[in-house]
Amino acid sequence: MSVPSWFSRSQVHTGGLRETHRDPGHNLAVDFEPFRRELVVHCYRMLGSLHDAEDLAQETLLRAWKARERYDERRASVRTWLYRIATNVCLTALEGRARRPLPSGLGAASTDPGVPLVPDFEVPWLQPLPARYADDPQARAGVRLAFVAAVQLLPPRQRAVLLLRDVLQFSAAEVATQLDTSVPSVTSSLQRARAALATAMPREHEVREPGDQAVRETVERYVRAFEAADVAALVTLLTDDAVLEMPPVPLWYAGSADYGRFMARVFTMRPGAWRAVPLTANGQPALAAYCPDDDGGHRLHTLQVLTVTPAGIAHNVVFQDPRLFAAFGLAVSVP
């Protein structure tokens, strides 16, 4: 079966896959394109990589198009069928791959604010998810960075079961069919996955939504302090055990005191007024940070994803990857 000429890799961002096929026995019109975004999110949860997720969602739609004549609406909905394909595409992609961590998942926190900042590009770091994929309120709990990072600790099949059952709310019978296994096996895997995540995840009620008024005020105050390079003001907005980490640098700090000492070093290295543009990522408040440049303007420095709790900012994951900047559509400089 040949692939249609209108179906290309560029359609991940710009086009669609829509194949209307009518089976005389089923009288079914198969329309795959409306599922593209949620399939990207599912693949992202499975692999922790935005770029891999977009590729694998595309692969899922291609496989679905090739197999469209074998689809039977009497056995499963289009959505259930597509998730079966996507999950198995992800499981195949995960074979032999190392998990995608954050620096805090690799070793102890540093207490030296002056340690050399040496990136490690050999590690397949966890990536953030742009707002265009995470703007559905129902999806936010399943794409928060802490959750996605914790999910990466699970074996791939446990990971799949947890996501299909607890995040996507498929029944145990549906998941058993999607993974070619039994309902008891699904139930056992889910119990083990939940137990493993219980100690790795922050309590959900402690994390506030980006639209919460208190969150907006906290982020606004953080932005003002950051732009002014006011370390003392920054520290007052943190929880006592706040975490700062900076992939691809395998370095992280725990506690507001060390967080503040490191930020003092950053502002000393790049003196002057900074700029911070608020945005969202992974359903969380975030900001694009711009450092002063030699021409009197500001150049893009980092993408920072914040976790805000009632007690303050508890976590800041600072990304410095030009590929991610492009995926988020961030301006490389601001006047």
Residue 250 has pLDDT above 90, yes or no: yes
pTM here is 0.88
C-alpha separations of 291 from 73, 128, 300 in Å:
54, 21, 7
Q: Alpha-carbon torsion 216, 221, 227, 230, what sign?
A: negative
CATH number at residue 51: 1.10.1740
| Mean pLDDT for the stretch of residues 261-265 | 97
Cα–Cα distance for residue pair 285/328, rounded to 1 Å: 14
Asked if the structure places residue 326 within a domain, the reply is: yes
Together in a domain, 232 and 124: yes
Point out the least confidently predicted range of 44-48, 86-90, 139-143, 169-173.
139-143
Residue 276 belongs to a domain: yes
Note whether residue 160 is domain-resident.
no
Cis geometry, peptide bond prior to residue 248 (ω within 30 degrees of 0) = yes
**Residue 8: which domain range?**
1-97
Nearest to 202 by CA among 104, 324, 303: 104
Q: Let me know: does 249 contact 117? Beta carbons within 8 Å.
A: yes
In a domain, 301, yes or no: yes
Give the Cα separation of 32 and 54 in Å (integer). 15
Q: Could you write out the DSSP letters of every residue in 188-254?
A: HHHHHHHHHHHTTS--GGGSPPTT-HHHHHHHHHHHHHHHTT-HHHHHHTEEEEEEEEETTEEEEEE
- Average pLDDT, stretch 250-279? 96
> What whole-number distance in Å separates Cα of residue 35 and Cα of residue 81?
11
- Ramachandran bin of 125, using left for φ above 0, alpha for ψ from -120 to 50, beta for the remaining angles: beta
Is it the case that residue 54 has pLDDT exceeding 80? yes
Rounded distance between C-alpha atoms, residue 258 and residue 17, angstroms = 49
Which own/partner contact pairs does 74-77 have at CB distance under 8 Å and 24+ positions apart?
Answer: 74/26, 76/174, 76/177
Same domain for 66 and 43, yes or no, is yes
Q: Is the pLDDT of residue 20 over 80?
A: no
Question: Does residue 139 belong to any structural domain of this protein?
Answer: yes
Q: What per-residue confidence (pLDDT) applies to 139? A: 64
- Look at residue 135 in the predicted model and tell me its pLDDT: 77
For residue 12, what pLDDT is reported? 37
Whether residue 185 is contained in a domain is answered as no
- Angle (CA) 213-215-220 rounded to 5° is 95
109 and 83 fall within a common domain: no
* Residues 320 and 248: beta-carbon distance below 8 Å: yes
Contact partners, residue 47, CB within 8 Å, separation at least 6: 53, 56, 90, 93, 94, 100
Return the CATH number at 276.
3.10.450.50
Q: Do 2 and 14 sit in the same domain of this protein?
A: yes
pLDDT tens-place string over residues 159-184: 999 999 999 999 999 999 999 999 99
Looking at the fold, whether 114 and 215 belong to one and the same domain comes out as yes
| Residue where one domain finishes, among candidates 97, 123, 145 | 97
One domain for residues 45 and 110: no
Q: Is 83 in the same domain as 133?
A: no
Mean per-residue pLDDT over the chain, rounded: 88
- How many domains, the chain? 2
| Residue 212 sits in the same domain as residue 236 | yes
* H helical segments located in the chain: 36-47, 50-66, 78-94, 131-134, 145-151, 156-162, 172-178, 183-198, 213-227, 231-236, 256-269, 322-327
Residues 119 and 66 in one domain: no
Q: Mark whether 13 and 82 lie in a shared domain.
A: yes
The reported pLDDT for the residue numbered 138 is 62
Contact 177, 84 (CB under 8 A): yes
In a shared domain, residues 48 and 3:
yes
Query: Of 59, 80, 97, which marks where a domain is finished?
Result: 97
Of 56, 75, 97, the one marking the end of a domain is: 97
| 298-309 and 312-319 beta bridge pairing | antiparallel
Looking at the structure, tell me whether residues 263 and 316 fall in a common domain. yes
Per-residue confidence at 11, pLDDT binned at 50, 70, 90? very low
pLDDT at 9: 37
pLDDT at 64 over 90: yes
Proportion of the chain above pLDDT 70, given as a percent: 88
Tell whether 3 is covered by a domain.
yes
Higher per-residue pLDDT: 259 or 31:
259
